[in-house]
Amino acid sequence: MNDAPRITCARVTLRRLAMTDAAAIAAYRADPNVARYQSWETYSLAQAEELCRSQAAEVFGRPGSWFQLAIVRAGDDTLIGDCGLHFAADDPQQIEIGVTLSPSQQGRGLASEAVARILDLSFLTLNLHRVTARTDADNTKAAALFERLGFRREGLFRSCAMFKGVWCDELSFAMLEQEWRSNPSAGSAVINA
Ligand SMILES: CC(C)(COP(=O)(O)OP(=O)(O)OC[C@H]1O[C@@H](n2cnc3c(N)ncnc32)[C@H](O)[C@@H]1OP(=O)(O)O)[C@@H](O)C(=O)NCCC(=O)NCCS
């Protein structure tokens, strides 16, 4: 698959980022509650425009790349979040994912819906072996999301990452293809590759 998939879920759609998404991305990424466990402190419109510009030229699945899919409301294509897929540089069968939702859209199961469908894409279309996620150990919402979806908590890495001048603990989560296949909600996305 060379182009970004368009994934249709019940309440959200995942698609390639467009330049018209930049203002919405800048708005939620600049929110301190969203930035708290991310690499940035502040997030400008110029940064969001650069992200959209670079992603417009990115090849989906390029080894070593992060590909950011937009999460939009299914009815009207309004951007409500983004989901990053990191394609390992040295292993075509593994990715790491990360997800962000606008605060106004959290607490409704929309991130769970989006990530569940990323798992469908990973194991049904991309034929991956393993999907992983890492979160700050204090990021309880993110940890709850991955556990809700059946990811295995693989380990706690103590003081392993420097974020905003402080050494942080990180949790590692993983889902293997055979673990995903035993999950009854697997495979219900409509994926247009
Ligand atoms: C991580 C993040 C995406 C999780 O968002 P979220 O909305 O809490 O996640 P979900 O979509 O799984 O929603 C779960 C919540 O919706 C509720 N919910 C309502 N309807 C639901 C449904 N149909 N299915 C699942 N949950 C539902 C759950 O009870 C839960 O509520 P709670 O948090 O009060 O327990 C969000 O906190 C975020 O964007 N954080 C900032 C960015 C970040 O740190 N990302 C992590 C990088 S890996």
Q: Which residues of 10-46 are buried (b: 16+ CB within 10 A; e: fewer)?
A: eebbbbbbeeebbebbbbbbbeeebbebeeeeebeee
Three-class SS state of 129? coil
| Nearest-CA residue for atom 32 of ligand 1 | 107
State pLDDT tens for residues 31-53: 999 999 998 999 999 999 999 99
State pLDDT tens for residues 111-164: 999 999 999 999 999 999 999 999 999 999 999 999 999 999 999 999 999 999
In order of their start, the domains of the chain are: 6-185 (3.40.630.30)
Mutate to test the pocket of ligand 1, among 12, 96, 138, 145 (most ligand atoms within 8 A of CB): 145
Pairing between β-strand 94-101 and β-strand 130-136 as defined by DSSP bridges: parallel
What residue ranges line ligand 1, CB within 6 angstroms? 34, 37-38, 98-101, 106-112, 133, 135, 139, 141-142, 145, 148
pTM over 0.85: yes
